[in-house]
Structure 1
Amino acid sequence: MAVDPSAIGTELAPVELTVDAGRLRFFAKAIGETDPVYSDVDAAKAAGHPELPVPPTFLFGIELEQPDPFAWLADAGVDLRRILHGEQSFTYHAVAHAGDTLIAKPRIADVYSKKRGALEFIVKQTAVSQADGTAVADLASVIIVQNPEVAQ
């Protein structure tokens, strides 16, 4: 089933997350981050941070905090067995820290196809801000959908 291009501009439900220091330590360990600024509050403060800073790619996971983080794809008629995360980019505006409440506001920015419709691409852009509206980062991700209805 083809992804409907009328989805372009659709705003998805915002997601709010209060950043926990324990999660930041766990995330830093999981990605192999050895800089103590991401796991030791004293090291973070010595580096000029008020608390543990959020590691750069941590922001990707905010939208995964929902009970069904891929419902928006299913609602668009996408067979989740046929998707691939194709690309991710981040543009940073400010550093977030443990204790901050962050709000992610995603929207579908583009839908297009290649290979005569055999591959469809959904571009999702997400603005992440502090609860007071201060911009933290803009994320862009590309989901690739294989369309089995099109012969390759």
Structure 2
Amino acid sequence: MIDRSHIGREFGAHTADIEKGRLRFFAKATGETNPIYFDEEAAKAAGLPTLPAPPTFLFSMDMEVPDPFEILSVMDVDLGKILHGTQEFNYFKDVYAGDRISFKSEITDIFDKKGGALEFIVKKTEATNQHGDLVAEMTRTIVVRNG
């Protein structure tokens, strides 16, 4: 069983610069076809200041840390036993190329089902921009298969 004392544990904040090339690459990789994600002139014609971040892009930026699985190693969870459970996003402000986004994460819950055969780790991440504005909250649930 995962030690429930990890609930409330915070993980070191990190910052990522949002670059045009990364936005275009992510949009292409996720099958986006709207030109506002590729062409800066199309974005400006749509009333945007520059290329916007596609949906779910911030999740990939949150993973760009030296050890993206630190939360699991701290809890002594075997990577071979995990599954991606859920991913939720709440957006408050748009993110654009040129923004600098800071990420701060916390374990908000750990619970089990099926008599402990499955354990769930809930990680909440807040993303703020260079002005200190909350731009998004992301909640990820990781499933750990036991036994």
Which residue number corresponds to residue 97 of structure 2? 98
The answer as to 2:26 corresponding to 1:27 is yes
Aligned-pair distance for 1:64?
A: 1.4
How many pairs does the alignment contain?
Answer: 147
Residue segments in structure 2 that go unaligned for 5+ positions in a row: none
Residue segments in structure 1 that go unaligned for 5+ positions in a row: none
Partner deviation per Cα, 1:43-74 (whole Å, 9 max, x = no partner): 01111111100001101112211121002211
Which residue number corresponds to residue 137 of structure 1? 136
Which residue number corresponds to residue 78 of structure 1? 77
Aligned-pair distance for 1:133?
A: 1.0
What is the TM-score normalised by the length of structure 2? Answer: 0.98
Which residue number corresponds to residue 121 of structure 2? 122
Q: Which amino acid aligns with 2:44?
A: K
Aligned-pair distance for 1:13?
A: 1.1
Q: Which amino acid aligns with 1:65?
A: E
**Contact 1:44–1:51 at 8 Å: present in 2 too?**
yes
Partner deviation per Cα, 1:105-136 (whole Å, 9 max, x = no partner): 11000000000011000000001110221011
**Contact 1:15–1:62 at 8 Å: present in 2 too?**
no
The answer as to 2:71 corresponding to 1:48 is no
- State the distance in 2 between where 1:26 and 1:62 align: 13
Share of identical aligned residues, percent? 50
**Contact 1:129–1:136 at 8 Å: present in 2 too?**
yes
The answer as to 2:2 corresponding to 1:3 is yes
Which residue number corresponds to residue 58 of structure 1? 57
Equivalent position SS for 2:119? strand
**Contact 1:54–1:97 at 8 Å: present in 2 too?**
yes
Equivalent position SS for 2:132? coil
Aligned-pair distance for 1:3?
A: 0.8
CA RMSD of aligned residues (A): 0.7
Q: Which amino acid aligns with 2:142?
A: I
Equivalent position SS for 2:57? helix
Q: Which amino acid aligns with 2:47?
A: G
- State the distance in 2 between where 1:36 and 1:114 align: 44
